[in-house]
Structure 1
Amino acid sequence: MADSALAPLRHRVFAVLWTATVLGNIGTWMRDVGSGWLMTSLAPSPVMVALVQAAGTLPVFVLALPAGALADVLDRRKLLIVAQCSLGVVSVLLALCTATGIMTPWLLLVLVLAGGAGAALAAPAWQSSVPEMVPRADVRAAIALNSMGVNVSRAIGPALGGLLVATLGVTATYLADALSYVLVIASLLWWKRVAPETDGPRETLHGAMRAGLRYALHARGLQRVLLRAVVFFALGAAHWALLPLLARHTLGGGPGLYGFMLAGIGAGAVGGALALPWLRERLGGAERVMLAGAFANAAAQAGLAVAPNGGIAVVFCVLAGIAWIAVLTTLNAATQAVLPNWVRGRGLAVYLTVFSGAMVLGSLSWGQVATWIGIVGALLVAAAGGAAAALVGLALPLPAGEEPLDPSRHWPDPHAAHATDHAHGPVAVQVEYRVAPERQAAFRQAIAPLGAIRRRDGATAWAVFTDADDPARVVEWFTLSDWAEHMRQHGRVTVADRAVQESVNALHESADPPRVTHLFGLAVRHRS
Structure 2
Amino acid sequence: MALGGAFWRFWCATVLANVGDGIRLAAFPLLAAGLTDDPVAVGLVAAAAALPWLVTGLIAGSLADRRSTRALLITADASRAVVLLGLIAVLLADRASIPLVAGAAFVLGVAETVRDTAAQTAVPRLVPAALLERANGRLVAGEVAGNEFVGPLVGGTLFAAGAWLPFAVNSAVAALGVLLVLTVPATLLALRAPVDPGDRPVAVAGGIRAGLRWLGGHRVLRRLVLVGVLVALADSAWFAVLVLYADARLGLGPVGFGVLLAAGAIGGLLGASLAERLIAGRRHAPVLRWSTAVATGAPVLLVAAPTRWAAVGVVVATSAAFGTFNVAALSLRHRLVPEQVLGRVVAAWRTAVLGAGALGALAGGTVASAYGLEAPFLLSAVLGAAAVVLWGRIARGGPAVAG
State yes or no: 1:392 paired with 2:389. yes
Q: Distance in 1 between matches of 2:110 and 2:154?
A: 24
State the Cα deviation string for residues 37-84 of structure 1 (Å, max 9, x = none): 556675585x88776665434322322222111111111110111111
Q: Distance in 1 between matches of 2:71 and 2:163?
A: 31
The one of 28, 50, 72 aligned to 2:21 = 28
- 2:335 is aligned to 337
The one of 148, 161, 185 aligned to 2:155 = 161
The one of 72, 75, 84 aligned to 1:79 = 72
The one of 321, 324, 334 aligned to 1:323 = 321
Equivalent position SS for 1:202 = coil
| Distance 1:95-1:361 versus aligned 2 partners, 3 A rule | farther
Residues 58-69 of structure 1: pairs in structure 2 closer than 5 A? 58-69=51-62
Contact 2:133-2:276 within 8 A present in 1 as well: no
Contact 1:97-1:103 within 8 A present in 2 as well: yes
Contact 1:233-1:358 within 8 A present in 2 as well: yes
> In structure 1, what residue type is equivalent to 2:193?
E
> In structure 2, what residue type is equivalent to 1:128?
T
Contact 1:83-1:119 within 8 A present in 2 as well: yes
> In structure 1, what residue type is equivalent to 2:342?
R
State yes or no: 1:380 paired with 2:380. no
| Distance 1:211-1:389 versus aligned 2 partners, 3 A rule | same
| Distance 1:149-1:185 versus aligned 2 partners, 3 A rule | same
Contact 1:238-1:362 within 8 A present in 2 as well: yes
State the Cα deviation string for residues 172-204 of structure 1 (Å, max 9, x = none): 333322221011111122223213433324312
- 1:188 is aligned to 181
Contact 1:64-1:353 within 8 A present in 2 as well: yes
Shift of residue 339, structure 1, vs aligned partner: 0.5
> In structure 2, what residue type is equivalent to 1:320?
T
Equivalent position SS for 2:216 = helix
Residues 487-498 of structure 1: pairs in structure 2 closer than 5 A? none
Q: Distance in 1 between matches of 2:14 and 2:201?
A: 29
Q: Distance in 2 between matches of 1:81 and 1:12?
A: 19
Q: Distance in 2 between matches of 1:313 and 1:30?
A: 26
| Distance 1:242-1:100 versus aligned 2 partners, 3 A rule | farther
- 1:253 is aligned to 253
- 2:347 is aligned to 349
- 1:130 is aligned to 123
> In structure 1, what residue type is equivalent to 2:209?
R
Query: Which range is displaced more, 334-343 or 93-102?
Result: 93-102
Q: Which runs of 5+ in 1 are unaligned?
A: 1-6, 406-528
Contact 1:37-1:244 within 8 A present in 2 as well: no
Equivalent position SS for 1:397 = helix
Residues 51-450 of structure 1: pairs in structure 2 closer than 5 A? 54-95=47-88, 108-153=101-146, 154-165=148-159, 167-168=160-161, 171-194=164-187, 195=190, 196-198=192-194, 199-206=197-204, 207-238=206-237, 241-242=240-241, 253-254=253-254, 259-280=258-279, 285-299=283-297, 301-302=299-300, 313-369=311-367, 376-377=373-374, 379-398=376-395
- 1:433 is aligned to none
> In structure 1, what residue type is equivalent to 2:139?
N
Contact 1:334-1:400 within 8 A present in 2 as well: no
CA RMSD of aligned residues (A): 3.6
Equivalent position SS for 2:394 = coil
Q: Distance in 1 between matches of 2:89 and 2:258?
A: 23
| Distance 1:197-1:233 versus aligned 2 partners, 3 A rule | same
Contact 2:230-2:387 within 8 A present in 1 as well: no
Shift of residue 101, structure 1, vs aligned partner: 5.9
State the Cα deviation string for residues 232-255 of structure 1 (Å, max 9, x = none): 11221235545666678885634x
Q: Which runs of 5+ in 2 are unaligned?
A: none
| Distance 1:312-1:377 versus aligned 2 partners, 3 A rule | closer
Q: Distance in 2 between matches of 1:351 and 1:297?
A: 18
**How many percent of aligned residue pairs carry the same amino acid?**
28
Higher relative contact order (CA 8 A, sep 6+): 2
State the Cα deviation string for residues 457-500 of structure 1 (Å, max 9, x = none): xxxxxxxxxxxxxxxxxxxxxxxxxxxxxxxxxxxxxxxxxxxx
Q: Distance in 2 between matches of 1:302 and 1:245?
A: 16
| Distance 1:92-1:51 versus aligned 2 partners, 3 A rule | same
> In structure 2, what residue type is equivalent to 1:384?
A
Q: Distance in 2 between matches of 1:302 and 1:99?
A: 48
| Distance 1:113-1:366 versus aligned 2 partners, 3 A rule | farther
State the Cα deviation string for residues 287-318 of structure 1 (Å, max 9, x = none): 33223222322355456787655x87555432
| Distance 1:287-1:103 versus aligned 2 partners, 3 A rule | farther
Q: Distance in 1 between matches of 2:52 and 2:399?
A: 29
Q: Distance in 1 between matches of 2:401 and 2:393?
A: 18
Q: Distance in 1 between matches of 2:290 and 2:103?
A: 38
Contact 1:151-1:266 within 8 A present in 2 as well: yes
Q: Distance in 2 between matches of 1:239 and 1:49?
A: 22
Contact 1:64-1:120 within 8 A present in 2 as well: yes
State the Cα deviation string for residues 414-466 of structure 1 (Å, max 9, x = none): xxxxxxxxxxxxxxxxxxxxxxxxxxxxxxxxxxxxxxxxxxxxxxxxxxxxx
| Distance 1:400-1:178 versus aligned 2 partners, 3 A rule | farther
Contact 1:294-1:386 within 8 A present in 2 as well: no
Shift of residue 22, structure 1, vs aligned partner: 1.0
Q: Distance in 1 between matches of 2:71 and 2:290?
A: 39
Q: Which one has a larger percent strand, Structure 1 or Structure 2?
A: 1
State the Cα deviation string for residues 134-159 of structure 1 (Å, max 9, x = none): 11221232222221211122332233
Q: Distance in 2 between matches of 1:383 and 1:49?
A: 28
| Distance 1:74-1:394 versus aligned 2 partners, 3 A rule | closer
> In structure 2, what residue type is equivalent to 1:296?
V
Equivalent position SS for 2:267 = helix
How many residues matched?
392
Name the larger-Rg structure: 1
Contact 1:40-1:49 within 8 A present in 2 as well: yes
| Distance 1:238-1:94 versus aligned 2 partners, 3 A rule | farther
Contact 1:65-1:209 within 8 A present in 2 as well: yes
Equivalent position SS for 2:186 = coil
Q: Distance in 2 between matches of 1:96 and 1:373?
A: 48
Shift of residue 395, structure 1, vs aligned partner: 4.2
TM-score by length of 1: 0.64
